[in-house]
Amino acid sequence: MKIGLEMHFQLPTRSKLFCSCPTSSAEPNHNVCPVCLGYPGSRPSLNRKALEAGLGIARFLDCKIEEKVWFNRKTYFYPDLPKNFQITQYESPLGTNGHFDLNGRRIGIWRVHLEEDPGRIRRVGRSGEEIAFVDYNRSGIPLVEIVTAPDLTSPEEAREFIDQLVTELRSLCGLEAQDEQSFRVDANISLGEERVEVKNVQGLRNLERALKFEASRQSKLLAAGKKVVRETRRFDEERKVTSSAREKETEEDYGYIGEPDLGEFRIGEMARNLDLKETPLVRARRLVSSFGIGEATAKQLVLTSVTLTDLFEELCRHVPPEKAVSWTTGPISSNWAVLQDPGKWPEIVQIVKDDSDGRINDNEAKRRILSLAGVQQEAAVEGGDDMTKLISDFVDSHPEVLADYRKNPKAANMVIGHVMKESKGRYSSKEVVEEVRKEMDKRV
């Protein structure tokens, strides 16, 4: 099975791609101006932030980036498209020939380009008496389109691919969490010779459903010795089936020409100078190779929180990685809301270091971490009293040990052994030794 995806993500800019209208939500047709309404005489000027974000994505996906790019007019008539052409990039995308590593497998990225979003049509009223309203707030919102090679092999993998990609892009350029409805994807899927395009699927869940339906439809056709027709299909969210869109078999002719109002953009320098953030999954791979920790653990860390991972790396400078893992994934992450305050980090590092060096035992370290987090743990407090009580109970009932101790300090070993046994390893040996000596010395 071969699946290729064309994904559209909204870039996180404050203003639209070609005008200064805000991208925030508003009453219908409030975030509009002559430019995004396509009024005669208005013209576009490119939002630099959108270009930077798009280039960042192209570079992150290891695309080839040309020195100069330009935009194109894609002409088609539709009521949500104010100019009846969309400004997009056709022969000159921001990046080509990149890849994304999905669980160690290379998924080819054919192209990354910028384009403007059309408006949104809302239909109200009963079928047959529908009224269509057009809201142009979305018109001109900057989108990045990412097209993959048909390298994905199952609907589940397609879903996981997008899931991981979104995780990475969110951290890379602050891409908003794509809710189910705002996310749009076109998917190509082929089991045999001919590919079928499922267009305009909304949301990840629907994508997986649509692909599963198509996979089974195509495999049934092939099993019955029939041919899969090359066509465009639509996914019906209610019935969870795809159906032929009954469009022309040949590709629609959009009559692309250059967008003369924008001219050419020299982007080579800009792309090279971008400072790319290390994304979570890339970081996870680095943690695995630098610290030898498990892949699952590394992913858990980076997906929990960037700063938690920062703390993990800081701990690794002082203690063995396995110690750092058990503390960060254990008591520290369960109290992360409080402990994420960097002001508390030096103390955390000290506690974990003391634990690792054996200066305090695990329980004491845990008690200190929890108290730093403001958690009052009864057990931990009782445990503290417990040792003194164990010592005094034993010494009181065995006066001969105290007598021996006066002559030979090694007699304390009996007490130590008893406490270690009774406390079942709640305290480190060092702690027990110190406490026992202290109690015995008091009595001598």
Judged by the rule CB under 8 A, the positions of this chain that interact with another protein are 34, 37-46, 73, 75, 77-79, 82-85, 251, 253, 255-258, 260-263
Helix axis angle for 399-407 and 412-422, nearest 10°, is 130
Find the shortest distance in angstroms from Cβ 26 to another protein.
18
The nearer residue to another protein, 193 or 253, going by C-beta atoms, is 253
Question: Residue 297 and residue 283: Cα distance in Å, rounded?
Answer: 12
**What are the beta bridge partners of residue 242?**
235
Contact status, residue 189 vs residue 198, Cβ threshold 8 Å: yes
The nearer residue to another protein, 37 or 221, going by C-beta atoms, is 37
Find the shortest distance in angstroms from Cβ 235 to another protein.
23
**88: amino acid identity, one letter:** T
The nearer residue to another protein, 66 or 386, going by C-beta atoms, is 66
For 169, the token pair is 């892009």
The nearer residue to another protein, 86 or 333, going by C-beta atoms, is 86
Nearest to 154 by CA among 120, 90, 89, 107: 107
Strand runs labelled E in 203-320 = 231-236, 241-244, 257-258, 265-266
Find the shortest distance in angstroms from Cβ 44 to another protein.
8
Contact status, residue 11 vs residue 22, Cβ threshold 8 Å: no
**349: amino acid identity, one letter:** V
The nearer residue to another protein, 43 or 205, going by C-beta atoms, is 43
The nearer residue to another protein, 12 or 258, going by C-beta atoms, is 258
Which residues have CB under 8 Å from 289's CB, separation 6+? none
Separation in Å, CA 250 to CA 2, 12, 196, 247, 358 = 21, 35, 13, 9, 73
Find the shortest distance in angstroms from Cβ 255 to another protein.
3
Contacts 24+ apart (CB under 8 A), 317-322: 318/349, 318/352, 318/353, 318/356, 319/352, 319/353, 319/356, 320/356, 321/291, 321/292, 321/293, 322/293
Find the shortest distance in angstroms from Cβ 83 to another protein.
5
Instruction: Give the DSSP letter of residue 138.
Output: G
Find the shortest distance in angstroms from Cβ 261 to another protein.
5
Contact status, residue 36 vs residue 252, Cβ threshold 8 Å: no
Find the shortest distance in angstroms from Cβ 56 to another protein.
22
The nearer residue to another protein, 85 or 213, going by C-beta atoms, is 85
Find the shortest distance in angstroms from Cβ 27 to another protein.
18
The nearer residue to another protein, 37 or 402, going by C-beta atoms, is 37
Find the shortest distance in angstroms from Cβ 63 to another protein.
25
Question: Residue 259 and residue 129: Cα distance in Å, rounded?
Answer: 39
The nearer residue to another protein, 130 or 441, going by C-beta atoms, is 130
Nearest to 313 by CA among 287, 294, 292: 287
